[in-house]
Amino acid sequence: MIDKHDALRRSPLFEMLSPAEIDVLAELSLSVQFAPGDVLVREGEVGSSLFVLVKGDVDVVRAEGGAEKVLALLSAPASLGEMSLIDREVRSATLRARTPVSALQLTAENFASFRKRSRDGFTLFALNVARVLSARLRETNKKLAARL
């Protein structure tokens, strides 16, 4: 069984949130399990949720020229799928469980409810998403610069 409170507290997406705000998100979240090879989200599909990894490893995979390329390997307490919640675009990659995965799922509807219950908490969440995405962009820039 997943300890939702602990999983949320360990995730960079929920840093600086109060215990009461974590309680609300724990109540709204859904515990999900994936077997190795299961697809959490598929590239090109409309996204409406994010996942917080509690246990296991997930490959970030992108289709290139008819083949799949693994872009990254993510492990707990990583978050997955937040880009589609922010920009409302289709999923930019497929997320596939490499090992048995336990995660928390939070939907766009969950975050709309959270925003109504805690505007300050929602603002901190949005700031944390920006920080996570900024760190990923910096890492991508380093990799790209190393190839030039």
Q: What domains sit in the chain, N to C, each tagged with a CATH number?
A: 4-108+115-141 (2.60.120.10)
Q: What is the pLDDT of residues 82-132, one digit of tens each?
A: 887 777 788 989 999 999 999 999 998 999 999 999 999 999 998 998 898
Exposure b/e, 102-138, CB count within 10 A at least 16 = b: bbbbbbeebbebbeeebeebbebbeebbeebeeeeee
Question: What percent of the chain lies above the pLDDT cut of 90?
Answer: 65
Does residue 134 have a pLDDT over 90? no
User: Considering the entire predicted model, what is its pTM?
Assistant: 0.87
